[in-house]
Chains A and B, each alone.
Chain A
Amino acid sequence: MSMEAALQTYFTEAREMLEDMEAQLLEIEHQDADALPETLNAIFRAAHTVKGSASLFGLDGIVDFTHVVENLLDRMRDGDVGVSPELVSLLLRCQDHIATLVDETEADGEVSEDSRILSRALIVELGAYLDEGAGSASDTSGLPAAGKEVEQAHDYPEDENDDTVDNDCWHISLRFGRNSFRDGMDPISFLRFLENIGTVRHILILDDWLPDLADYDPEDCYLGFEIRFMSSATKKEIEDVFEFIREDSDIHILAPYSRLSDYIDLIESMSEESDRRIGEILIECGALTEAELAKALALQAAAEEADQSRRLGEIVAQDDDRLTPVVDAAAQKQTQMRDAINRKQKSLRVDADKLDHLINLVGELVTAGAGTFLQAQILGNAELIESMSKLNDLLEEMRDASLKLRMVAIGATFSKFQRVVRDMAADLDKEVDLAITGADTELDKSVVEKIGDPLMHLVRNAVDHGLESSAEREAAGKPLTGTISLNAYHDSGNIVIEVGDDGRGLDPDKILAKAREKGLVGEDQQLSRAEIFDLILRPGFSTAEQVSNISGRGVGMDVVRRNVIEMRGRTEIDSAPGEGTTIRIILPLTLAIIDGFVVGVGKAAFVVPLDVVQECVEFSEVDQTERDGQTYINLRGNVLPLVNIRHRFGVQGERPKRRSVVVVKAEGQSVGLVVDRLMGEFQTVIKPLGPVFTGLSGISGSTIMGSGEVALILDVQGLVQQITRGERTAANH
C-alpha cells in the first residue's frame, strides 16, 4: 500500500471511529451504571485509535488535540472524573472538532489556524475536568499515554510540537538470531528483499557481538544491523519482510518521524547494549541528530528519576509494540474490534431485486453498446469507432464489477444442512457427521438460490441411502459414525460443489442391470462406468424395487440433474463400493454471462459456449460416412460424430456450398457441429428462455446480440449426450 493509500484509509477509518464515538457518547446519558464502563472503554478506544494512527502519519494537529481528549476519557474510565451532561456535551464538541481536524488534514495536509485556536480553547475546557480529577497540572503534551501515571511523568521539559524526530526514514534495528545461518536465513536475502519495497539509505553493520577467535563458531550468526530505510511501505509490509526470522531475531521498526520517546524506548529496549552505544549508532546511521539524542537521554534520565518503577512498567508494556503494527500492542485487541466494526460498517445491505435490476440494466447497456459499436462500424467513422470501443471496454468492466456484487459465499447454504442431517440421522437411527469445507467459496446469488433444492435431494439421499446402518457399518469394519461431506471450490471458471458420503457406494453392475430391465439402456449397449453412475440421475430410474444398495437413490434425483442442467451445469459421480459416493455438481460461476462463439445456420444465429469449442474445420460432405443413422467424419484419424444443426433444428433456407464443423467437447466426448457460417466470439448476457421452453432440448438459453435480435444458445452438453447415449439424433435427412 502506498503512503497515500494508507493515509486515505486512515481518514476513512478515523471518520468511522468518530461516528462510532459519537454514537457511544450519545448513549452514555441513557445508560445504567453497569453498561457505562464498557461504553467509556469504547469511546476511549475510538479516540485512542484515531490518535494512534494519526501519529503514524505524523499528523500532529490531530494527535496533539486527541491526546488530551484521550487523557480525559481515560480518567473517566478510571472513575476519577464523573460523567455529567456538560462533560458529554464538551466531549461531543471535541469529537466534532477532531472530525474537523481530520477533514482539514485530508483537504490541506494540515490543520487550519482557526482550528488550532479552537483546539487550544477546547484543551483549556478539558483541562478544567482533568484538574478536577487528578489535581495535577493539565496534560497537553503529546507523549503516549499509557495510563494516568503518565501525567506525573510529564515534569520533564518538553515542547508540544518538538517531540517528533526529524527523520523521514523508517528506522530498522535488526539483531539476527544465532541460528540464522543454519536456518538458511542469510541477512543478505532480507536486506536485498527490503530493497524491493524501498531504498536503504544507510546501513550500519554491528560487530558488537563478534566473539573472540576461541569462541567463534563459523556457523553462528553474530550480526546486527541498523538501517535507515526510505519507503512508502506500511509497517506491516516491512515487518513481513522479516516474517521468517521474527521469532529468533530481535527486530525493531520505527516509523518515519517517530516520537523521540519511541527512540528512547528503542534505546532502552536494547538491553544488551549500553544506551550510549545504541544512541551513537542511531546518530551514526542518521536516525537521530546529536541534539535529539541528548534530549532523549535527558528525558530518559528525568523519567527514570521521576518514577523508576512506572517507567519500567511502561517499557514492558510497550516492548511488544515494535513487533506489531505501530498502532500499539495494547491496542491490538482494539484494532480487531475496530476491524470488526469497520467490516460491519463497510458492508451495505442492498435489496436483491435492486441489485438484479442494476445488473439487468448493465447487461442491457452492454448490449446497447455493442449495437452502437456496430452502427459506428457501419458508418466507418474511425474516431467514433475508437471512442465506442473504449466505451464498450468500460461497459464490460462495469458489467463484470456489477456481477461481482452478486457473489455470495456458499457457507450459509451449507450450514442449513447441519440441521437436516442431524434430524435425519435421528429419524433413521444413524450416527452422521456433516463435514463442511470450502464454505467461503463465492458464487452468484442466482446460483445459490437454485442450488438449495438439488443439494437437499443429494444430502437426504446420501444420509438415507448412501450411508449404511450402524450395524452394517460395524460389520464392514467402518467407523460407526458416517460422514456426509459438503465441499465447494472454484475450478477454472466453474464452481464445483461436492456432496459426498463414506457409505456403501454404488454397484455399477446392479445399476446397469436395473437400467436394462427398465429399458433405459439397450441390451447390447455398452456404457462406461461414469455413464452407468449417471443413470441414477435419469428420469424413470425408479426406486420402487428393492435393488439393495441403490434402492431409493432415484427419488427426486432426476430433479437434481434437471436443475443442474438448467443452470448450464453438469454432474459427475464417483463411487467405490464400500467406500462411498461423491456427487459433484459443476456449475458456471455466474448464470448471467457467457463467452460465446456465434455460428450461423440459414438465417439463424446460434451461440456455442466458447469453453467447449475445440476447433473449427472445413466441412466436406465427401468425407462424411454414415452408420446407424449417425454421420461421422474422420478428424485426423479419430472418428468424429456430427450433429447437423440445420437438420437437428429444422432450419430452412438455402444451404451454402462451404460449410464448417465446429468441434466441441463435453463430457469427454468430441462432437462436430455442422454449421453454415462462423461468426466469431461474443461475450454476452444470458437470458433465460422462460417456462414455455422448459424441456426444450439442445437449446439452453438465449442472448441478445448487438443488433438487438435474439440468438439461441446451444446446449452442447445435451447434444453430446444424445450421441454418447446412442439416442436417435433427430432426423438425419
Chain B
Amino acid sequence: MTQTNTKSSLPVKGQSTAVTAAGLAAAGSDENQYLTFKLQSETYAFGILNVKEILEYGKITKVPMMPDFIQGVINLRGEVVPVVNLARRFGLKASEITKRTCVVIIEIGAEEARHELGVMVDSVSEVLEIEDDQIRPAPGFGARIRNDFIRGMGKLNDDFVIILDQDKVLSVDELAAVQQVRDMAPAHLPEEDDDDDSGEAEPGKG
C-alpha cells in the first residue's frame, strides 16, 4: 500500500494504491524515463511523462457495442475514464485477469483536448531510464504488433523493450472510428474470455 519505489517491481495492490506520476517521476529526470510493463510475456514501455497513475484492475463498467479492445469505463475520482484492453488493441487474445492486472492511467492529447485513458496491462514492472542513444528505430517487420504503434526499441542490457507510441496506440480517432463499423454489424457480444470476470461492474447490487 505504499508509494512504489522505482527500480523494483511495482506491487500494486488495491484500487486505492495509486502510483502518481509525481512519485514515479521523482525517481530521476523525466524525459528518459519509461514505465515498463508485461503483456503476454513481452515487455513494453510508455514514456513516464504521460503516466498519471497506476490502479489495480477493479470494477469496470462495460460499455455495450464497443469494440472488444474497449474494456469499459471506470470511475477515477469522479471522472469517467475509458479503459483500453491493450492486448485486444494489439490484436492479441485477451489476457486472463489476475491479481497483477493493472490499469495504467495515461494522459493523452494536447492542451485543450487533453483527457485520460486507462490502459489494461498484465503487470507493471518498473520505471527505467533509457538514454536516447539506446533507442533504436522500430524494425520494419518481425514485431507482433502494428508497426506504427512502436516508437522505438529500447535497448536494455541484452534485451529490448518495445517503447510504445501512445498517440497511435491510444488514438482517439481510431478508438472511436471502429464503432462506425460496429454500427453496421450485429450487436456486439463480448468475447467469452473476458466475460464474467471478477471485476465486472455490478452496480445493481446494493
Q: Which of B70-127 contact A (CB under 8 A)?
A: 70, 72-75, 77-82, 113, 115, 117
B190:A650 contact, CB within 8 angstroms:
yes
Interface string of B164-206 (1 = CB under 8 A from A): 0000000010011001100100111110000110001111111
B63:A693 contact, CB within 8 angstroms:
yes
In the assembled complex, how far is the CB of residue A374 from the closest CB belonging to chain B, in whole angstroms?
A: 6
Give the contacting residue for A604; candidates B117, B176, B187, B201; CB below 8 A: B201
B187:A710 contact, CB within 8 angstroms:
no
* B130 contacts the other chain (CB 8 A): no
Task: Determine the chain A residues whose CB is within 8 A of the CB of B203 once the complex forms.
Answer: 604-605, 705, 707, 709-711
B78:A367 contact, CB within 8 angstroms:
yes
A691:B189 contact, CB within 8 angstroms:
no
In the assembled complex, how far is the CB of residue A353 from the closest CB belonging to chain B, in whole angstroms?
A: 12
In the assembled complex, how far is the CB of residue A372 from the closest CB belonging to chain B, in whole angstroms?
A: 13
B82:A693 contact, CB within 8 angstroms:
yes
In the assembled complex, how far is the CB of residue A690 from the closest CB belonging to chain B, in whole angstroms?
A: 6
Q: Which of A667-721 contact B (CB under 8 A)?
A: 677, 679, 687-699, 702, 704-705, 707-712
B204:A605 contact, CB within 8 angstroms:
yes
The answer to whether A650 and B187 touch (CB under 8 A), given A604-B61, A691-B113, A709-B203, is: yes
A707 to B202, CA, bound (A): 9
A707 to B115, CA, bound (A): 24
Interface string of A162-178 (1 = CB under 8 A from B): 00000000000000000
B66:A696 contact, CB within 8 angstroms:
yes
A704:B175 contact, CB within 8 angstroms:
no
- Total number of A residues with any Cβ neighbor in B under 8 Å: 44
Give the contacting residue for A711; candidates B61, B65, B82, B190; CB below 8 A: B61
A691:B206 contact, CB within 8 angstroms:
no
In the assembled complex, how far is the CB of residue A673 from the closest CB belonging to chain B, in whole angstroms?
A: 14
Number of A-B contacts (CB under 8 A): 119
A679 to B187, CA, bound (A): 25
Task: Determine the chain B residues whose CB is within 8 A of the CB of A653 once the complex forms.
Answer: 196
Interface string of A604-639 (1 = CB under 8 A from B): 110000000000000000000000000000000000
The answer to whether A651 and B204 touch (CB under 8 A), given A691-B172, A704-B78, is: no
A216 to B118, CA, bound (A): 92
Task: Determine the chain B residues whose CB is within 8 A of the CB of A364 once the complex forms.
Answer: 77-78
* A652 contacts the other chain (CB 8 A): yes
In the assembled complex, how far is the CB of residue A733 from the closest CB belonging to chain B, in whole angstroms?
A: 9
B61:A677 contact, CB within 8 angstroms:
no
The answer to whether A691 and B61 touch (CB under 8 A), given A600-B204, A707-B203, is: no
The answer to whether A677 and B204 touch (CB under 8 A), given A363-B78, A650-B189, is: yes
Task: Determine the chain B residues whose CB is within 8 A of the CB of A361 once the complex forms.
Answer: 78
Give the contacting residue for A652; candidates B82, B186, B196; CB below 8 A: B196
A508 to B175, CA, bound (A): 39
In the assembled complex, how far is the CB of residue B119 from the closest CB belonging to chain A, in whole angstroms?
A: 12
For A601, give the chain B residue with the smallest CB separation.
B204
Task: Determine the chain B residues whose CB is within 8 A of the CB of A649 once the complex forms.
Answer: 64-65, 187
A730 to B176, CA, bound (A): 19
A694 to B186, CA, bound (A): 19
Task: Determine the chain A residues whose CB is within 8 A of the CB of B187 once the complex forms.
Answer: 647-650, 730-731
The answer to whether A710 and B65 touch (CB under 8 A), given A605-B203, A689-B80, A695-B176, is: no
Task: Determine the chain A residues whose CB is within 8 A of the CB of B115 once the complex forms.
Answer: 690-691
Give the contacting residue for A709; candidates B61, B82, B195; CB below 8 A: B61
* A660 contacts the other chain (CB 8 A): no
B78:A603 contact, CB within 8 angstroms:
no
Main secondary structure of the interface of A (DSSP, over half): mixed
Task: Determine the chain A residues whose CB is within 8 A of the CB of B82 once the complex forms.
Answer: 689-690, 692-693
Task: Determine the chain A residues whose CB is within 8 A of the CB of B13 once the complex forms.
Answer: none
Task: Determine the chain B residues whose CB is within 8 A of the CB of A707 once the complex forms.
Answer: 203, 205-206
In the assembled complex, how far is the CB of residue B147 from the closest CB belonging to chain A, in whole angstroms?
A: 23
* B155 contacts the other chain (CB 8 A): no
Task: Determine the chain A residues whose CB is within 8 A of the CB of B113 once the complex forms.
Answer: 691
Task: Determine the chain B residues whose CB is within 8 A of the CB of A604 once the complex forms.
Answer: 61-62, 201, 203-204
A696:B75 contact, CB within 8 angstroms:
no
Task: Determine the chain A residues whose CB is within 8 A of the CB of B63 once the complex forms.
Answer: 689, 693, 696, 699, 712
* B59 contacts the other chain (CB 8 A): yes
A19 to B75, CA, bound (A): 48
* A360 contacts the other chain (CB 8 A): yes
* A475 contacts the other chain (CB 8 A): no
In the assembled complex, how far is the CB of residue A403 from the closest CB belonging to chain B, in whole angstroms?
A: 16
The answer to whether A709 and B75 touch (CB under 8 A), given A603-B201, A689-B80, A693-B66, is: yes
Give the contacting residue for A603; candidates B73, B180, B188, B204; CB below 8 A: B204
B117, B180, B186, B201 pick with most chain A CB within 10 angstroms:
B201
A652 to B187, CA, bound (A): 12
Task: Determine the chain A residues whose CB is within 8 A of the CB of B73 once the complex forms.
Answer: 689, 702, 710
A208 to B64, CA, bound (A): 86
In the assembled complex, how far is the CB of residue B151 from the closest CB belonging to chain A, in whole angstroms?
A: 21
A709:B64 contact, CB within 8 angstroms:
no
A363, A689, A712 pick with most chain B CB within 10 angstroms:
A712
B65:A650 contact, CB within 8 angstroms:
yes
For B77, give the chain A residue with the smallest CB separation.
A364
* A378 contacts the other chain (CB 8 A): yes
In the assembled complex, how far is the CB of residue B162 from the closest CB belonging to chain A, in whole angstroms?
A: 23
Interface string of A213-247 (1 = CB under 8 A from B): 00000000000000000000000000000000000
A730:B186 contact, CB within 8 angstroms:
yes
The answer to whether A708 and B59 touch (CB under 8 A), given A652-B195, A697-B183, is: yes
In the assembled complex, how far is the CB of residue A194 from the closest CB belonging to chain B, in whole angstroms?
A: 54
A568 to B89, CA, bound (A): 30
B113, B183, B187, B190 pick with most chain A CB within 10 angstroms:
B187
A712 to B75, CA, bound (A): 12
A103 to B80, CA, bound (A): 50
Task: Determine the chain B residues whose CB is within 8 A of the CB of A378 once the complex forms.
Answer: 206
A647 to B175, CA, bound (A): 23
B201:A710 contact, CB within 8 angstroms:
yes
A361, A693, A695 pick with most chain B CB within 10 angstroms:
A693
A709 to B203, CA, bound (A): 6
In the assembled complex, how far is the CB of residue B2 from the closest CB belonging to chain A, in whole angstroms?
A: 23
Give the contacting residue for A704; candidates B70, B75, B176; CB below 8 A: B75
A710 to B64, CA, bound (A): 13
Task: Determine the chain B residues whose CB is within 8 A of the CB of A698 once the complex forms.
Answer: 64-65
Task: Determine the chain A residues whose CB is within 8 A of the CB of B117 once the complex forms.
Answer: 692
A711 to B206, CA, bound (A): 14
For A710, give the chain B residue with the smallest CB separation.
B61
Q: Can you give 22 A-B contacts (C-beta < 8 A)?
A: A374-B206, A603-B200, A603-B204, A604-B201, A605-B201, A605-B203, A648-B64, A687-B78, A687-B80, A689-B73, A690-B82, A691-B113, A696-B63, A696-B65, A698-B65, A699-B64, A702-B61, A710-B61, A710-B75, A712-B61, A730-B65, A730-B187
Query: A residues engaging B (CB < 8 A)?
Result: 360-361, 363-364, 367, 374, 378, 600, 603-605, 647-653, 677, 679, 687-699, 702, 704-705, 707-712, 730-731
Query: B residues engaging A (CB < 8 A)?
Result: 59, 61-66, 70, 72-75, 77-82, 113, 115, 117, 172, 175-176, 179-180, 183, 186-190, 195-196, 200-206
6 nearest A-B pairs in the assembled complex, by CB-CB distance: A649-B64, A364-B78, A605-B203, A730-B187, A600-B204, A709-B203
- Known A687-B79, A705-B203; 6 more pairs at CB < 8 Å: A603-B200, A687-B80, A695-B183, A704-B75, A704-B78, A709-B59
